[in-house]
Chain A
Amino acid sequence: MLSRVVLSAAAAAAPSLKNAALLGPGVLQATRIFHTGQPSLAPVPPLPEYGGKVRLGLIPEEFFQFLYPKTGVTGPYMLGTGLILYFLSKEIYVITPETITTVSTVGLLVYAIKKYGASVAQFADKLNEQKIARLEEVKQASMKYIQDAIDFEKAQQALVQKRHYLFDVQRNNIAMALEVTYRERLHRVYKEVKNRLDYHISVQNMMRRKEQEHMINWVEKNVVQSISTQQEKETIAKCIQDLKLLAKKAQAQPVM
């Protein structure tokens, strides 16, 4: 489409270019020049809106104006009446059955036109208007579509300017995810190491406890073994004496 614009611009700027292009192949044979100047068909000259004014539907207004200076307002009517009467009286126009049919046909036509003329004219105008409206709508729709496309394109361009925000956010997200993963793994390593160390500590504790218990048991066993029978008897007698003393003390207390 741009090439057409260029061509028409070139044609407008230099009409001779068009002639030269057309002359090219036939320049040897004929020097007839076609299409000098702008194309003559467009733009189409506008139609007149109203037809010429007529009186009695037949006689143009200019005739009345033509006769006005000499005969005044009634001149053409007198002329018409005189002519009709002359034709009738001299039988240049004979009254035949055709006359009666003329009266009926023409009378019917005049009645129909007077009654339905305006509405038919309105209908014709409406037809033209509808045609124009349809084309206008196509044009408006096309313009609107193109305008919408332009606005959308502008919006897209504006969005593209702000695209870096999106990339920053994505970059931040990824950095955070990496950080989180790193810390998670660090924590896991820490836990594993602690686990191993705890294991060793608990092993040590257990060993010490076992040794303690073993030692205590061994000491107890030996002590119990070392208590001879004599010692046992003496200890029991002493315990009984102590108990008796205590019983006497206890008896004396509650009575008071």
Chain B
Amino acid sequence: MNENLFASFATPTLMGLPVVLLIIMFPMLLYPPSNRLITNRLSAIQQWLVKLILKQLMSIHNTKGRTWSLMLISLILFIGSTNLLGLLPHSFTPTTQLSMNLGMAIPLWAGAVIMGFRHKTKSSLAHFLPQGTPIPLIPMLIIIETISLFIQPMALAIRLTANITAGHLLMHLIGGATLALMSISTTTAFITFIILLLLTMLEFAVALIQAYVFTLLVSLYLHDNT
């Protein structure tokens, strides 16, 4: 049971060959590049979506922050499509692996913070002390703010991993429950199946929301530091 439950999260190998790289690069095929002005429906919808997201995401940034727009759009498209593809049966979701999420979160966060410290040192250091703190609390508050700063990349990565993994696990468990209940009492199995349907809808939403949250937070860290 244990092995079966977590088997879907093992890094996929095909006869000993790590095929995970191909799986990570697979969503690229779903965004066909085109040199036309008027494209097919898929590309038209993708262009419209990208424009919508980009406008909403980069409206708060100044010129310096907007140089990150390509990075952030690629991020949200990648996380969104990998999460959504992971909902298909028997598929592997790269974002369930903590290694990959850390690999995405730490460089982005570090880049934003180091850029902030280099260019606006005083303002970056000022973030450690919120306005209007009473004087006796200052030393403790600085320690807390430092810890909070260093937790940010961890939080980013672990949030994404935990949400997606938990969703997949829950779907698997409730599917198993439905399967087990089918031979006992069909009505309960049916109710459980309804729960599974609702959960699937939630999972679709979560897939997109997590992508959005990840990118939004990176964008926020960027905004603080540009």
C-alpha gap A101/B192 in the complex (Å)? 11
Whether B196 lies near A101 (C-beta < 8 A) is: yes
Identify A100's interface contact among B39, B41, B88, B175, CB under 8 A: B175
Give the nearest-CB partner of B200 in chain A: A104
B122 at the interface (CB under 8 A from A): no
Binding site for A on B (CB under 8 A): 4, 8, 35-42, 44-45, 47-48, 87-90, 171-179, 193, 196-197, 199-201, 204
Tell me if A65 is interfacial: C-beta within 8 Å of chain B: no
The 10 tightest CB contacts between A and B, nearest first, are: A97-B175, A97-B176, A100-B175, A102-B89, A124-B41, A101-B175, A124-B44, A104-B196, A101-B171, A104-B200
Please, which residues of chain B bring their CB within 8 A of the CB of A97? 172-179
User: In terms of DSSP, what is the predominant structure of the interface of chain B?
Assistant: helix
Q: Check if B89 sits within 8 Å of A106, measured CB to CB.
A: yes
Q: Which residue of B has the minimal Cβ distance to A47?
A: B40
Known: A127-B47, A132-B38. 13 other contacts (CB 8 A): A96-B4, A96-B176, A97-B176, A97-B178, A104-B175, A108-B204, A120-B41, A123-B45, A124-B41, A124-B45, A127-B48, A128-B41, A135-B37
Cβ-defined contact, A131 with B38, below 8 A: yes
- Residues of A near B87 (CB, < 8 A) are 105
**B residues within 8 A CB of A95?**
179
Q: In the complex, are the beta carbons of B179 and A104 less than 8 A apart?
A: no
Chain B CB within 8 A of A242 CB:
no
A96–B179 CA distance with the chains assembled, in angstroms: 8
- Report the Cα distance A127→B2, complex, angstroms: 49
Q: Is A232 an interface residue (CB 8 A)?
A: no
Binding site for B on A (CB under 8 A): 41, 44, 47, 95-102, 104-108, 120-121, 123-125, 127-128, 131-132, 135
Decide: A100 near B178, CB < 8 A? Known: A105-B88, A106-B89, A131-B37: yes
Closest residue of B by beta carbon distance from A123: B45
CA–CA, A41 and B200, complex, Å? 45
CB neighbours (8 Å) of B171 from chain A are: 101, 104
Complex CA gap A247/B139 in Å reads 161
B41 partner residues in chain A, CB cutoff 8 A: 120-121, 124-125, 128
| A47 → chain B closest CB, angstroms | 6
Nearest A residue to B173 by beta-carbon distance? A97
Nearest-Cβ distance from residue A119 to partner chain B, whole angstroms: 12
